[in-house]
Amino acid sequence: MYVDKKLGGVSAVQTLSRLNRTASAKKDTFVMDFANSTDEIKKSFEPYYETTILGEATDPNKLFDLQNTLDNYQVYSNAQVVEFSDKMVQNIPVDQLHAILDAAAIVFRTTLDEKSQEDFRAKCKSYVRLYVFLAQIVPFTNPYLERLYIFLNHLQNKIQREQGEDLAQGVLDTIDLDSYRLQKQGDFIIALEQGKELMPSQEVGSGVAEPELELL
């Protein structure tokens, strides 16, 4: 990057950070600056610099643990997973894809009790999230892991909990807009803490988050 004008503050950070963009065959970056000193650029970046320490590596084996747990529920078969992932890349009519997912969803709703269903949903979401994370940094050699990711990523839409009471229903009718007013609460400065420790992924698929309710 060639810089021929003065840069400072967030403008310097945004401009030079464009070098972080990925490109084919890109190996390194270089700045030829004709207008700014190194001290000026350093001063611009310092307010936005944070040290992040990885406290512990994420264990890839967690993905295999989730796979084994999900497989053992016998909601789907290996053949269904392979068939679905193959058809996903073959421009097959979408109704054939839905048929495979619907078959698994029927087994899910008819063979698992409520507790098992919640556990399966949670672990299904955990597998999808963990695979997306690990696939960026771990070279998996087992193609079934990606096939299962494709299958579960679509299956989870079929096995969602049925919609219960609409908590927002009638809310607008209970708000007295005639009494609505704006009130300044104060001026605040958001400070960034330095040196936060980045902990590994803890995806284990346990528990279901319940919505937090508060009186209007």
Domain that holds residue 138: 61-155
pLDDT tier, 34 (very low <50, low <70, confident <90, very high otherwise):
confident
Mean pLDDT of 153-169: 74
Both 121 and 69 in one domain: the answer is yes
Both 70 and 149 in one domain: the answer is yes
Give me the chain's average pLDDT, please: 81
pLDDT tier, 195 (very low <50, low <70, confident <90, very high otherwise):
low
Is 17 within the bounds of a domain?
yes
Highest mean pLDDT: which range of 30-44, 60-74, 131-145, 169-183 = 60-74
How many folded domains does the chain comprise? 2
Residue 128 has pLDDT above 80, yes or no: yes
Both 9 and 70 in one domain: the answer is no
Token readout for 78 is 């290996």
* CB contact at 8 A, 108 and 159: yes
Phi, psi of 161 (to 5 degrees): -60, 145
Both 38 and 65 in one domain: the answer is no
Both 18 and 99 in one domain: the answer is no
Helix, strand, or coil (residue 169): coil
Q: Of 128, 155, 182, which one is at a domain's C-terminal end?
A: 155
pLDDT tier, 180 (very low <50, low <70, confident <90, very high otherwise):
low
Both 86 and 34 in one domain: the answer is no
Is 208 within the bounds of a domain?
no
Phi, psi of 41 (to 5 degrees): -70, -40
CA distances from 123 to 65, 71, 93, 116 (A): 10, 11, 29, 10
Residues 6+ apart with CB under 8 A from 127: 63, 66, 67, 70, 148, 149, 152, 203, 205
Both 112 and 92 in one domain: the answer is yes
Both 138 and 97 in one domain: the answer is yes
Is 139 within the bounds of a domain?
yes
* CB contact at 8 A, 147 and 82: yes
Is 82 within the bounds of a domain?
yes
Both 125 and 99 in one domain: the answer is yes
Is 204 within the bounds of a domain?
no
C-alpha to C-alpha distance for 122 and 208, rounded to whole angstroms: 7
Residue 179 has pLDDT above 70, yes or no: no
Helix, strand, or coil (residue 2): strand
Mean pLDDT of 159-174: 62
Mean pLDDT of 40-53: 76
At 77 the pLDDT is 95
pLDDT tier, 55 (very low <50, low <70, confident <90, very high otherwise):
low
